[in-house]
Structure 1
Amino acid sequence: MRTQVVIIGAGPSGLLLSQLLHLAGVECVVLERRSPDYVLSRIRAGVLEQGMVKMLERAGVSERLHKDGLPHDGVALHVGETRLRIDLKNLTGGKHVMVYGQTEVTRDLMDAHTARGAKVIYETGKVTPLDFDTDHPKVTYEKDGLTREISCDFICGCDGYHGASRAAVPDDAITEYEKIYPFGWLGILSYVKPVDHELIYANHANGFALASMRSNSLSRYYIQVPTGTDPKSWSDDAIWDELKIRLGEEAADKMETGPSIEKSVAPLRSFVAEPLRFGRMMLAGDAGHIVPPTGAKGLNLAASDIHYLSNALIEYYGEKSSAGIDDYSNKALARIWKAERFSWWMTSLLHQFPELGPFNARMQRAEMEYLASSRAAQIGLAENYVGLPY
């Protein structure tokens, strides 16, 4: 088989890239090791920056987003005795975020691919990028017991942290930066009304908590737990009780509780690989970087990668220029590191670090008091939360 671009990974970043390339007349094939049902079963992010919303509009998959998504003009921070609403819209000149689950984004992109008969090959095994340091890259994979090969001009690795793309890069060609946090997020999803119309981030003596949502009838909550916690060790009632403690009396009085439909623990890490381009293979999304979910940047950062990468490939085929491809890694990494900084800062402010002792608790308290008293500090937080420009 021959195509112009092979995309490895059919998550939201891979499918978004495929859709944008299709609209520009660039041929591509998407390879995915899992089934469509498995891809849709993954419970992930739900806060979209305006930049990502515009990307989905550009891709022609925003109809349901604008119908069912929930615009949020603010977000609340609760540290110790200080509760502060960050007025995103007012502080950023009219910008906001949109709550719309990653599962729904993926479903919209899948539907668009099905409607146009796009080449997406699911349940592939042993996907291997080859010869990407030459002018004739290719990808081999197994399907239905046979080894198959696709020759192409470029390979785009959108296959996540554990994918084949980054693993194919020689160790001496890549530098990896990583920070592992000593805790994770225990998440619960339940068909109950959200406790508030906006997200609430809280830092209690017992640990971090987040009140979020996927819709007006589907709520998503998180609490900080030690690394290695088994979600089965927490009953639904125990999670609800802890949420009421950590989110404070005002939230506890309004909180509806109910049975969980999903419980899981997500570890927290910061990770960046440099560079993101290796000859004719480029990495995007979680294949190249991971952020703690505290700042709601993971999916949005993948979207900005796809912005730069799609523009570069469209420029290559439309204008016969490799300038965008040559600059892809530098442009993407400049924005990635800013998002890494913001996510690290939010994580440092909102989580308990017992090993750092009472000094760290006083620093968190001082940071919150400064935020509460400084409009300039609030503007900086708001600008980062709604998303820095592409």
Structure 2
Amino acid sequence: MKSLTMAWRNVWRNSRRTLAAVGATTLGLWAMIVYSGMIAGYLDRMERHVLDVEMGDVQVHHAEYLRSPSLYHRIEEPQALLDALDDAGLRAAPRLLASGLGAAGDNSAGVSLIGIDVDRDSTVSKIHERVGQGQWLDPAAPGEVVIGRRLSQMLGAKVGDELVVLSQAADGSMANELYVVRGVLQGVSEAVDRGGVYLVDEAFRELMVVPQGVHQLIVRRPAALPLSTTVERVRALAPELDVQSWRELKPTLASMLDSAQGAVYLMFFIVYAAIAIVILNAMLMAVFERVREFGVLKAIGVSPGGVLRLIYLETLIQTGLAIVVAVILAIPANWYLSTTGLDLSESMEGLTIMGSTMDFVWISRVSLQTYTGPVVAMIVIVLLAVTYPALRAAFIKPITAMRHQ
């Protein structure tokens, strides 16, 4: 208790230096707590976007489809597999895929035709929530389509305008049909944004003369089921088909998301190194100013361990004050960022990373680790930074200290 009282008194002996050190530590810790939540939210939402809007957790194709995308490489009897996936506790939806040419007025562009079961697709994808203008597909209106925003701009086709689709049907005939643009998507992948044309599966089958089979199954898993386990289960149900997780289909993006955590640690290291230098400088100044005091303590019998304990207590008091203030300031900041977030729609609209579009609103993900990680790291860094000046003070010779001016 005496050591604690003495340490508290010594901390405020030079209040200006103490406040400067506490202020710098508080600012750094506050920034790291907020930054930790923001980066966790960024990575989480980016992965959720890939899963919810673009790919799902697992995709199933004909064994040759990914190597050679073709209208003829289809899963011929998808219903049996869909029923088996449902029984396994997995959600799945079929999709029909083809390419063609879209035209509106005097403008034309290559398009990717995507035929979906509207009701079932909504259980595996949130693409229907990305309609920026107009409405999503209605099974009762097979003559209407939903297109990407950039495709809409290139063709000059707005909601309510007519869109001509041309392609080659499965029977070799010319596929051509006139559709009405029902909706325009935004915040989707670059490929869909530039060329995606969504239509109900019945309209796709009629256009492309595909009476049966599908090209793709999108599979979603329960949150508690690991991705690797999901892939194994689906492969067991469809051993003759090509079953791959989103990480296998987009390995570069998956690697980027994994390595992004390393960038977080690098940022932590830079900030903590700066704080360590501030603490080291402050404690070195404190030691040099109090050389005679430490000499007296050593002369009256205080052991090196006692001096070390005193300096560490002083450091912990300053760090404790910084932690309390930083956490108090971080709580409202994290609450705002996790509920409202930062709206970056003006600066990030159209921004893609490896073909995946970013969310326009940056939402923080806050958990207990958001606070404990930076706080524990801060305590460790500060104690390491103060070790050198503490050792110098602890093992100083009383005679040398008494002669210090």
Aligning the two structures, in what range does the TM-score lie when normalised by the shorter sequence? under 0.3
Indicate the structure (1 or 2) with the bigger Cα radius of gyration. Answer: 2
User: What TM-score results when the alignment is normalised by the length of structure 2?
Assistant: 0.21
Higher helix share: 2
User: What TM-score results when the alignment is normalised by the length of structure 1?
Assistant: 0.22
